[in-house]
């Protein structure tokens, strides 16, 4: 009998690192991400995001907009252009959100990423571990060639995470941050840079159905067997 179609293979995906797990969320986990974000992501005196989605919202509005954003990204994904939002989980608790985006991935083999950690959990190495896990997914899980990211010049934590993981600065652009031209630092890492990074092992659960869905074929470790 033909097995039933997987339909949305991301649901089985988990990236397991020694100190954090990135879990592709069902609605219950997505709601935990949304509720966490509503408790606070940054000092309101600052704005780390190029799109100031955290501004002028009550906590329930913020939670709803997070939930709708996760649904929107999922609903509009194609095989060529998709965004996967993962819950950052530590000791069974959702403590943040880590996203990875691609555009024409089979051609460019390039990913970008974005993330936030709940304010109560920042500065404990979780953001770095989450980014490391998403880079492992990109380079080792999906055979990416390049990963890009960026942060405003006055976001030292985000920039420190990127630099510690081997990204190099590729340029600076002025972005409109809530009406003020503000310097944004663009960074990138390639496979050689990633190979040189001292990093923790990351295990992928449910990777093969995702690779098949994206038309990527068998993973390197399977081809060698």
- Do strands 203-205 and 21-23 pair parallel, antiparallel, or not at all (unpaired)? unpaired
Q: What angle do CA 134, 139, 160 make, to 5 degrees?
A: 50
The Cα–Cα gap between 69 and 216 comes to: 26
Torsion angle, CA of 196/197/203/209, rounded to 10 degrees? -60
Kindly report the backbone phi and psi dihedral angles of residue 178, in degrees, each rounded to the nearest multiple of 5, phi listed first. 50, 45
Considering only 40, 48, 193, 209, the residue that binds ligand COA (CB under 6 A) is 48
- Taking the least distance from each CB to ligand COA, the nearer of 117 and 142 is 117
Kindly report the backbone phi and psi dihedral angles of residue 193, in degrees, each rounded to the nearest multiple of 5, phi listed first. -65, -45
Told to check if 172 binds ligand COA by CB under 6 A, we report no
- Taking the least distance from each CB to ligand COA, the nearer of 44 and 181 is 44
Q: How far is the CB of 9 from ligand COA (least distance, A)?
A: 27
Told to check if 177 binds ligand COA by CB under 6 A, we report no
Considering only 79, 124, 172, 221, the residue that binds ligand COA (CB under 6 A) is 124
Told to check if 179 binds ligand COA by CB under 6 A, we report no
- Of 71, 8, 9, the closest CA to residue 34 belongs to 71
Told to check if 157 binds ligand COA by CB under 6 A, we report yes
Binding mask 53-92 for ligand COA (x = CB under 6 A): ----------------------------------------
Torsion angle, CA of 133/160/19/49, rounded to 10 degrees? -70
Told to check if 45 binds ligand COA by CB under 6 A, we report no
The CA-atom distances, in angstroms, between 31 and each of 1, 49, 75, 179, 212 are 37, 21, 17, 31, 28
- Determine if residue 179 is left, alpha or beta; phi over 0 gives left, psi from -120 to 50 gives alpha, anything else beta: left
Check residue 61 and report its DSSP letter: H
Q: How far is the CB of 129 from ligand COA (least distance, A)?
A: 7
- Taking the least distance from each CB to ligand COA, the nearer of 102 and 113 is 113
Q: How far is the CB of 11 from ligand COA (least distance, A)?
A: 25
| Site stretch for ligand COA (CB under 6 A), options 14-22, 59-67, 149-157, 187-195 | 149-157
Told to check if 158 binds ligand COA by CB under 6 A, we report yes
How many residues touch ligand COA under the rule CB under 6 A: the total is: 22
Told to check if 42 binds ligand COA by CB under 6 A, we report yes
Residues lying near ligand COA in the complex (CB under 6 A): 41-42, 48-49, 115-117, 122-128, 151, 155-158, 160-161, 164
């Amino acid at each position: 009998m033909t097995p039933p179609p997987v339909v949305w293979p991301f649901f089985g995906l988990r990236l397991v690192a020694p100190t954090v797990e990135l879990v592709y969320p069902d609605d219950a986990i997505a709601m935990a991400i949304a509720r966490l974000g509503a408790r606070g992501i940054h000092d309101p005196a600052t704005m780390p995001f190029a799109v100031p989605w955290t501004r002028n919202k009550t906590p329930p509005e913020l939670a709803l907009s997070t939930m709708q954003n996760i649904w929107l990204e999922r609903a509009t994904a194609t095989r060529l252009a998709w965004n996967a939002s993962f819950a950052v989980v530590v000791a069974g608790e959702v403590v943040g959100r880590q996203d990875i985006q691609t555009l024409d991935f089979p051609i460019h083999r390039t990913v970008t990423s974005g993330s936030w950690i709940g304010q109560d959990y920042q500065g404990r190495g979780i953001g770095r571990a989450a980014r490391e896990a998403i880079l492992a997914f990109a380079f080792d899980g999906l055979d990416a060639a390049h990963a890009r990211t960026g942060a405003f010049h006055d976001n030292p934590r985000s920039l420190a995470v990127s630099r510690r993981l081997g990204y190099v600065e590729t340029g600076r652009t002025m972005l409109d941050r809530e009406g003020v031209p503000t310097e944004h630092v663009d960074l990138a890492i390639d496979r050689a840079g990633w190979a040189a990074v001292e990093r923790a092992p990351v295990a992928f659960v449910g990777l093969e159905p995702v690779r098949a869905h994206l038309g990527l074929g068998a993973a390197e470790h399977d081809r060698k067997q």
